Amino acid sequence: MIAANRVQQNATALTPLRRCAANLATALAIVIAPAKIHPRPILTRPLAIKAAIYFGAFLLCMILFDAPVMRALGHLPDWIRWSFDQITDFGLSGWFLWPLGILYVTLSALPARLTKISQAVLAAVMVRVGFLFLSIGVPGLFVTIVKRMIGRARPLVGGHLDAYLFSPFKWTAAFSSLPSGHATTAFSVLVAFGSLWPRWRTELIVYAGLISLSRMVVMAHFPSDVFAGALVGAIGAVMVRYYFALRRLGFSVGTGGALHQYPGPSITRIKAVARELLAP
């Protein structure tokens, strides 16, 4: 999603700021361009059945597990709660969005004195950085808005455990429990990074699981909040991946609707581009 090669070739004389702005504008145009592949119908019977199952599981979780699980977690030793409190904020989206955003802007401002092969490598890197940023940022933004509209109270708000305390449109942190933003981030990270680097999936699953569990241990969310956040994060990242695939940006849609990742640039290629950029 770099400002394609035509912009890089015409931007040699531009200042870094103007070159960055030009590249970002072109990248935005590429992302919002019409799909190159005709999308399959979204509202299908199997999808409706899955949605009903997920919603039913969420309701059962709220009714059967929210209060009992939170009461049990309230009896955990302080050292366990302290341990999870040290890791829970690693589920904040800023840990990923800030580095990815800064990296994307920096790459957009790089000099245009590159060979066509190097420009293609840089473009492939930026497609993947942009995919990661949007896969984490879009579900996170959705949850940030929706959770305050729903207005579910966090555990122990009001001085007691009430899994059915809601105050819609309250727009305060105390009434923004559903869905869990940390779980949304953790599972969008799992899907996004796992799509690009499948070998990391075991580590990513551990990360997502620990962050989600930590939100309950520190008494910040009910189990159903975490369940809902995990669904939104995972589904949101999958939707962003499908959106990219329809435009042949890093992914493609194969036979039967299966998504395939285009081969990314090797470390050797990336190092070669870096040497070319640093050359006098």
Model confidence at 6, pLDDT cuts 50, 70, 90, reads very low
At 175, the amino acid letter reads: F
pLDDT for 157-215, tens place per residue? 978 899 999 999 988 999 999 999 999 999 999 999 999 999 999 999 999 999 999 99
Domain boundaries, the chain: 42-278
Residue, of 147 and 36, whose pLDDT is higher: 147
Find out whether 169 and 229 touch, Cβ atoms under 8 Å: no
Q: CA-CA distance, 17 to 110, in Å (whole number)?
A: 10
Task: For CA atoms 196, 189, 150, 173, give the dihedral sign.
Answer: negative
* 39 against 229, higher pLDDT: 229
The answer to whether residues 39 and 243 touch, using CB atoms and an 8 Å cutoff, is no
Give Cβ neighbours of residue 69 (< 8 Å, ≥ 6 apart): 216, 222, 223
Compute and round to an integer the Cα radius of gyration of the chain: 22
What proportions of the chain, in percent to the nearest 5, are helix, strand and coil? 70, 5, 30
8 Å CB contact between 120 and 9: no
Handedness of CA 245, 262, 235, 189 (dihedral sign): negative
Could you say which DSSP state residue 65 is in? Answer: I
pLDDT of residue 240: 96
User: End-to-end CA distance of the chain, in Å?
Assistant: 27
Whats the size of the chain, residue-wise? 280
pTM given for the model: 0.91
